[in-house]
Amino acid sequence: MEPPQSNASATSNSPSGDYVPVLATNLGLDRLASRKQLYTFRARDDLDWFTGAVVSLPEIGDVHISRYDNAPSGLTVFYVDSAVANEHVQNRLVEEFSLAPEEVLWRREFEVQE
């Protein structure tokens, strides 16, 4: 699954180039930007208009964040490269954006590696 793309120029910091959703919140990009400096943009893909942002975090790489205008859930979704997607990354995103437990409405489930 690819995150929404924009015309905003951002240097790719992605080992595999394959992004997956790992976390979703009920907060909009404006609220997230008040917690961490983000450059937000408006764009349209083949589905809908969305507000997006890209931020690069150490040990994670590029994090794509998007909120579609007409999504029935109204959630803001965090996408990371599939090569680094894991529970640790989810926890880092929660910390980086100071998300309270009630603000995290969805977490991707990861298989336990034995």
What ranges do the domains of the chain cover? 28-107
39-53 per-position pLDDT tens digit: 999 999 998 999 999
Mean pLDDT of 99-104: 97
Distance between CA atoms of 55 and 77, rounded to whole angstroms? 13
Q: Point out the least confidently predicted range of 1-10, 14-23, 52-61, 90-99.
A: 1-10
Mean pLDDT for all residues in the chain: 88
How much is the pLDDT for 8?
Answer: 37
Whether pLDDT at 92 is above 70: yes
Mean pLDDT of 97-114: 90
Whether pLDDT at 10 is above 70: no
Mean pLDDT of 23-44: 95
CB atoms within 10 A of CB 76: 26
Beta-strand runs (E) in 1-114: 19-25, 40-44, 49-57, 61-68, 76-81, 104-107
Instruction: Output the pTM of the full model.
Output: 0.84
